[in-house]
Amino acid sequence: MKTNILLVIATVLSLEATAQSDTTPLPHREGTGVDFTIAADFVNEYIWRGLKCGDVAVQPTLGVDYKGLSLTAWGSYGLSNKDDVKELDLTLAYNTGGFNIGITDYWFSEGLDPDARYFKYDAHGTNHLFEANIGYDFGPVALQWYTNFAGNDGLNKSGRRAYSSYFEASVPFRLATVDWTATAGVVPYASTTYDTNGFAVTNLSLRATKDIRITDSFSIPVFGQLTGNPSSQKAYLVFGFTLQP
């Protein structure tokens, strides 16, 4: 199965590189300030905030941005394991200067609703999870705080809604023609969402990204990431690439 997946990916890359010069670019309206994003990541493992969420996956992105206000759809779909949970996230965000704020609606194919209905928002029977985030990018370091406020959130030690939260600091730098990001993330209190019994360091990661030139007008960003989760005593090595017109 994995061999077939690699063959499919290689074929896609070949077709993309060949068709790039013949592809008509998306229309751009001068002076509108509207930016569109269409992309897809392919990864050998889906690792999120130090937690493993799946095996080989394709993760498409579709987004629109106007003067810092953006609406983005992101998903993850397993390619090698049919039991991997499917995910579809919608994020409404606003960025100005280094400041950012946003709300994300996560939907999973597993949860409180055994029929996995997307439009079921019953507080005690939904597969949706709603999260708010706020952060600031200072340049040398970026700080971000996330808190779940509704939907299928985890529980605390008392068996009540945990309002599960996560805080991380990331430091970007460039070394040997490669873009790097070092990240440290913590869960401040007990939550079954992150499988923690209290304050816990769940994400220590180092990510490297480099563009691989295919033709004069087309390149593929390739990335690798080493992630450790001291709380769960797990470690992961992720490889992936991005296709974007």
Q: Global pTM?
A: 0.85
Tokens 């999260």 found at: 131
Where do the structural domains in the chain lie, given as residue ranges? 33-243
Tens digit of pLDDT for each residue in 97-106? Answer: 999 999 999 9
DSSP states of 71-122: EEEEEEEESS-TTSPPEEEEEEEEEETTEEEEEEEEEESSSS-TT--TT---
Average pLDDT by stretches of 10, the chain with 245 residues: 42 38 40 87 98 98 97 98 96 97 98 96 94 98 98 96 98 96 98 97 98 90 98 98 93
Tokens 């690439």 found at: 241
Beta-carbon count within 10 A of 35 CB: 12
CATH H-level, domain 33-243: superfamily: monomeric porin ompg (2.40.160.40)
How do beta strands 178-187 and 218-229 pair?
Answer: unpaired
